[in-house]
Structure 1
Amino acid sequence: MKYNLNLSNNTTIVTVLFLSIWACWFLAEQLNGGQALDFPPVMQKHVQCKTRSVSNTQVFSVHVPIKSLAVSLAPQLCEDPILAKQYGVVEVWWSGNLAEQIDFIAKGLADLTLSKDNVMKALMAESTYSYMPVIGYPTYTAFFISNREKPKFEKAYFLDKRIGLLDYPTSRSGHIIPKKAFKSLDIDVDTLNIQYVSSHQILRDKLAAGKLDIIASYWNESDERYFSKNYITPIGENISGSKWYLKMLNDNTELACSLQNVLQRVAKDGGSSYFNTVDQFWQCDSFPYNFLGES
């Protein structure tokens, strides 16, 4: 009888489990109208658009550090007539993770990328995949910026402050340099009240709204409309700006010149005076177009 009782209990458990699973499936079918459930990806990290060459399946791949830049850049690339003669699809990927950026460059996955010259040199990307600069941003100074007092470069000063940094670790002014500054003051970053945001503009918005006490960023002359130049403290000088690099496996000079115009336009549309002046690396006024070199 003991054996039969155990067998009966096991049969009951199996039956209950089966009925529970069937009931869940039936409920899902009814709620979903009999259609298969479609779960979206957890994180979409690229934007895609098509050029006017609808029959062309060639993909122009781009890598940038932040989503907002990807969203503004993609449609302008797809509308470019020179790029449309060579490619049918544009994909702009974004990630502030240095390891992912290195993956795109070291494997030659990106046709166009925004990167630092020291990263490109370390990966020998220019010699391996013929990456060449298209435009570059000027050198700049990184600051701690406040809206109520001049930030003090002292350990105790930062301990009770709400500090704003960028959430992508390849940014020098918004991430790397301020963290080096904290380390030089023997401050454990984990003990600080740091808010990470996705752009320099969001840092400024939060500072102006009183949601942050200090931010780390570069300084624009236009910033004086909202903040005082007396309330900034330099933490790094003569920082080389990023550059846009195009993979030039072919002597594709027309595309380089066309991209030079597109990228300069996108930079100016960003609303920051820092991007109003860029270094151009291509002579595009008259044919034949040619590379001017780097200063």
Structure 2
Amino acid sequence: MNFKNIMLHKTTVVAFLFLLLLVTWICGQLTVNNDDLQFPVMIKTSTTCQTTATSNTSELIVFTPSKKIAKLLTESLCGDNVVAKQYGSVIGYWGYRTADSLEFVGKGIADLILAKNNIMAAFRAESTYNYQPVVGFSNYTAFFISSKEKPRLTKQYFLDKRIGLLDYPTSRSGHILPKQTFKELDINLANLKITYASSHNELRDLLADGKVDIIASFWKESDATRFSKNYITPLSNNIAGTRWYFKMQQNNTDLLCAIQSHLLNMSKDQTLHYYQNVKPYWSCNTKSVSFIKGLGDE
């Protein structure tokens, strides 16, 4: 077989294989239902609702660490007349990790967000995106909490203790303040037995189950059913509470006041006293909307 015939033979084989592959693909497309290829969303992290302005494509974006709050607030805002004049839908996102908050704050994605003021300050969100506080929760105190004795703020005391901290570098009560205390006591973190938890509730479970001796957190009313209030030692007072921030890139005071009203009403239905004790940052009872000076970090 000469060279020309060899090349012709190889070309014929390649062409045949290509046609076979093409026919197989076409048959597959005809027999497979496209609906079978739609994979379900395994983890849902948002909820959406429509306002009465169905033809408006603008979206009001809300972010909160709580799925329950995201759903309640989203539905509440969708039924508001002021919101409907400006938006066609409201999307509520939730995320439990600090990284989720950082994503929404750092990129200015959310129009309304529940966040800590130290995160907002770290990204200069108020100057970059003009995020303004709308309502704020009361200041609180950070504690070392034990189940068997009152913690002592001495170097020797902590060296043989199993300690529970939050795995969130931005958490003041569960991470920043206890580590500051250890530094002030001249304790090398490498010499401590530290267990990191993903939430304050997980910290409490670790302590209640005897897996750690001490945790760093805040004190809430329900803690008295599991631990003794005699066995807590304050780390720092007057820590600024979490706040709702509104991205006010226009002087949109109608929407600001509408949102503040919904947040205040929603706080009344919260089970924890801390979340019921909320303060507005704006005076919306007069024709001239004004910031309430002096509220700040009191």
Aligned residues: 268
8 Å contact kept, 1:182–1:188: no
Q: Superposition pairs for residues 154-193 of structure 1, below 5 Å? A: 154-159=157-162, 163=164, 165=166, 168-181=168-181, 185-188=187-190, 191-193=193-195
Structure 2 spans left out of the alignment, 5+ residues: 1-23
Q: Superposition pairs for residues 98-117 of structure 1, below 5 Å? A: 98=98, 100-117=100-117
Q: CA deviation at 1:122?
A: 4.1
- SS of the equivalent of 2:56 reads coil
Q: CA deviation at 1:270?
A: 3.2
Q: Which residue of 2 aligns with 1:248?
A: 248
Relative distance call for 1:264 and 1:205 in structure 2 (3 A) is farther
Q: Which residue of 2 aligns with 1:280?
A: 280
Q: Deviations over 1:25-70 (max 9, x none)?
A: x9xxx9x988523323464433323233333221111222344443
Please tell me the residue identity of whatever aligns with 1:286: T
Q: CA deviation at 1:181?
A: 4.4
Relative distance call for 1:264 and 1:225 in structure 2 (3 A) is farther
What is the TM-score normalised by the length of structure 1? 0.72
Q: CA deviation at 1:293?
A: 3.4
Q: Superposition pairs for residues 56-71 of structure 1, below 5 Å? A: 56-71=56-71
Q: Superposition pairs for residues 1-295 of structure 1, below 5 Å? A: 35-41=35-41, 43-95=43-95, 97-98=97-98, 100-153=100-153, 154-159=157-162, 163=164, 165=166, 168-181=168-181, 185-188=187-190, 191-197=193-199, 200=200, 204=204, 214-221=214-221, 223-295=223-295
Moved over 4 A (4+): 32-35, 96-100, 179-184, 200-214
Task: Please identify the structure whose Cα radius of gyration is greater.
Answer: 2
8 Å contact kept, 1:60–1:90: yes
Relative distance call for 1:293 and 1:168 in structure 2 (3 A) is same
Q: Distance in 2 between matches of 1:214 and 1:255?
A: 45
Q: Distance in 1 between matches of 2:234 and 2:141?
A: 7
**Aligned residues with identical type, % of pairs:** 44
8 Å contact kept, 2:159–2:191: no
8 Å contact kept, 1:155–1:187: no
What is the TM-score normalised by the length of structure 2? 0.71
Q: Deviations over 1:189-247 (max 9, x none)?
A: 995333323xx456556756777754432223454355321011222222112221111
Q: CA deviation at 1:86?
A: 1.9
More deviation, 202-211/98-107 = 202-211
Q: Deviations over 1:5-44 (max 9, x none)?
A: xxxxxxxxxxxxxxxxx9xxx9xxx9x9885233234644
- SS of the equivalent of 1:192 reads strand
